[in-house]
Amino acid sequence: MRTVELMIFDLDGTLVDSGTDLAASVNHALARLGLPGLPIERVISHVGDGVGKLIERSLGEKAASLKDRALELFLSHYETHLLDATVPYPGVPEVLEHFASVPKVILTNKTHRFSVSIIEGLGLAPYFEDIYGMDSHPWGKPDPRLLGVLLERHGARPEKTAVIGDGVNDVLLAKNGGAVSCALLNGLGDGAKLLALEPDYALGDIRELPGVLSPP
């Protein structure tokens, strides 16, 4: 059991199951460009490094010529459809309530305004001190400078800070910055890749967090 004084949560695949809406908006953009759609699993495999990379990977060899227009189409559609099917994972409110005394922030490679819209729309905003998106800082996960900024801003020590997420970038961020890494294996990320990084904790889902982390 680790005592923590700051908890840093990823968003997509960690707090919320957003794969269906992301895939729908990607496929909307592809359709408008006259391109075939992609299976939801394929789109989900492209998630984790920001919207630009999501669009590039979804376009494949067409990325060089179509990325800008595809990105425009995706953003326009996603802004009004980001809560069509997106819901919190089971147990999320209860776990956040369990750690009510611990400062919590969201750190995601998703665009900030979309992240805020989702968290507010799902009623989870009161649990978090701040929400940081891909466009909130000069660096994205897993750059350790990003962790350093958050630790200073929230007055926390790395060894007492937990990074909770379903992506490789979350585990690497924690390891690069000396924080506790908690990998969630039920999200959008590749479980085998997460386990290969040997996180401090590999959990079946977020409801296992109270079994490994403790408030001060």
Known catalytic residues?
10
Helix (H) or strand (E) holding 163: strand 161-165
> What is the C-alpha separation between 129 and 184, in angstroms, rounded?
22
CB 205 within 8 A of CB 184: yes
> What is the C-alpha separation between 115 and 97, in angstroms, rounded?
20
Q: Return the half-sphere exposure (C-beta side, CA atoms, 13 A cut-off) of residue 138.
A: 3
Residue with token string 């729908």? 24
> What is the C-alpha separation between 161 and 2, in angstroms, rounded?
9
